[in-house]
Amino acid sequence: MVTHQQLFIGGTWTEPSDPALLDLVSPHDGALLGRAAQAQRADVDRAVALARRAFDEGHWPNTPPAERIAVLRRLAALREERADEIAALISAENGSALWFTRAGQPGLTRQANAYLKAAEELGWEKTLDPSDPDAPFRSVVRHEAIGVVAAVIPWNSPFSAALAKVIPALLAGNTVLLKVSPENSLSMNLLAQLLEESGLPEGVISVLPADRETSEYLVTHPGVDKIAFTGSTRAGRRIASLAGEQLKRVSLELGGKSAAILLPDADLGKAVRGLQFSSLLNNGEACIAQTRILAPRSRYAEVATAVKEMVESLRVGDPADEKTFIGPMVRRDQQQRVLDYIRVGLAEGARLVAGGPEVPLGLEGGNYVTPTVFADVDSSMRIAQEEIFGPVLVILAYDDEDDAVRIANDSEYGLSGGVWSGDEERAFAIARRIRAGTVTVNGAPIGFDGPFGGFKASGIGREYGMAGLLQYTEAKTVTV
């Protein structure tokens, strides 16, 4: 068992304002994993003051970009060295299956490399070619840091969410307050250790495990210039309204209810194997999960049978077991939320193909949900419209390609999606018509050089690569 009695504030391990420690328990069996200090308002005040001073005094924002890049490259290397430890710790905290947390580690490397490449390629100060060659002036565009950034992340994929914000914010010269979920206190304190070892100056970074009330205090703090948030659409709307009152810069990566369109010529075996990962990654607790499966009426029964067989073949159990594909939900209330949605689906008249509201036999001591599939689902049903955030899939029928696109776009969300076809050009043509920030063809992975983010209620702004880096800069024009 691990105990963290201090908070990482401004680059220093500091006694918290409240000495009480939070018990952190295993989603698998309720065993005590550790205890950790939690940030309160006084700790936020201290962290903001240090970040404000570090930014206003100018050392970090005025550090040459090449030197900032070197520090963040060192952070990326330190994380790689402890990848196995990180994977095991997140699996224990979240209940994420070990295959998933291990598979995500190379992705973190690619994520960091894309940001570092963007920082090297960005012209931090560039003279524009004039549209009028006879103009008696020249315009110089600078990309400057915004200021103090509050990065607020969820529990489901903590290292990915944290580094997607911390790395570009620091590369741009901002100071950062990383607010993390209490559930991830252990893994995020490990991240704090890596940040300490990377050599950042005093005051530049704090890691604050805290509850929602403290989080709201942080985002409304007058010393914060920008909010970068990943989480639910409901919370995102709240944060956007609070930011609007103070005209804070804000970027939001929010929920999803992504559709996977199986075209009539799709290789069903390959598609269903791909859906195993794109629909049920991280126990279904993923904003990008493609949980709406759209099948042509001509192959509907065939698709439903194949998805049923795939889901029923998956091993549910101890996330530390390398043979487990789906572990428990992160908390008991999250388990109950998912089970309630399964009951909603039954009440709405959807046909239960696999799973159901019964907890898997022998796993009653953990936060487990039996992976569930519904067929004969109408797009108006709640289970087809609302983000469930668990291992629950719905299969909808479509008549033709136009109907498939209509159903895929019949959602308040627009984060992700997928198209499966034997004809890549045909699939790409369909992907163009889906109103979502990221669409994959035939199970291709999401890249990190291109922008990632949502349409509609799935967010504002983008992460990854150059687009993600620019979210943390202000553009200034100096005319000479």
Per DSSP, 446 falls in state P
Question: What three-state secondary structure class fits 176?
Answer: strand
How many Å apart are CA 38 and CA 209, to the nearest integer? 5
Question: What three-state secondary structure class fits 455?
Answer: strand
Residue 385: alpha-carbon gap to chain centroid:
20
- In one-letter notation, the amino acid at residue 310 is M
The pair of structure tokens assigned to 230 is: 């990943």
Residue 126: alpha-carbon gap to chain centroid:
33
* Neighbour tally for 447: CB within 10 Å: 15
The pair of structure tokens assigned to 452 is: 């990632």
Edge-to-edge strands of the sheet including 226-230?
12-14, 7-9, 205-209, 175-180, 148-152, 226-230, 249-253, 459-460
| Torsion, Cα of 437, 183, 107, 327 (10° steps) | -90
Strands 139-145 and 473-479 come out as antiparallel
Contact 400, 408 (CB under 8 A): no
All CATH 3.40.605.10 domain ranges of the chain, comma separated, are: 2-253
How many Å apart are CA 257 and CA 387, to the nearest integer? 6
Tell me the angle at which helices 212-219 and 233-246 cross, rounded to the nearest 10 degrees: 30
The pair of structure tokens assigned to 271 is: 């598609």
The reported pLDDT for the residue numbered 132 is 81
The reported pLDDT for the residue numbered 133 is 81
The reported pLDDT for the residue numbered 134 is 79
The pair of structure tokens assigned to 29 is: 């069996």
The reported pLDDT for the residue numbered 136 is 84
pLDDT tens, residue order, the chain (480 aa): 899 999 999 999 999 999 999 999 999 999 999 999 999 999 999 999 999 999 999 899 999 999 999 999 999 999 999 999 999 999 999 999 999 999 999 999 999 999 999 999 999 999 988 888 877 888 999 999 999 999 999 999 999 999 999 999 999 999 999 999 999 999 999 999 999 999 999 999 999 999 999 999 999 999 999 999 999 999 999 999 999 999 999 999 999 999 999 999 999 999 999 999 999 999 999 999 999 999 999 999 999 999 999 999 999 999 999 999 999 999 999 999 999 999 999 999 999 999 999 999 999 999 999 999 999 999 999 999 999 999 999 999 999 999 999 999 999 999 999 999 999 999 999 999 999 999 999 999 999 999 999 999 999 999 999 999 999 999 999 999
| Residues designated catalytic | 253, 287
CA distances in angstroms from 264 to 288, 293, 404, 405, listed in the order given: 24, 13, 11, 14
How many Å apart are CA 44 and CA 25, to the nearest integer? 25
Give 259-445's CATH code, choosing from 3.40.50.300, 2.60.120.650, 3.20.20.150, 3.40.309.10. 3.40.309.10
To the question of domain 2-253 being in CATH 1.10.287.610, the answer is no
Tell me the angle at which helices 65-81 and 83-94 cross, rounded to the nearest 10 degrees: 70
All CATH 3.40.309.10 domain ranges of the chain, comma separated, are: 259-445
Contact 325, 316 (CB under 8 A): yes
How many Å apart are CA 370 and CA 354, to the nearest integer? 9
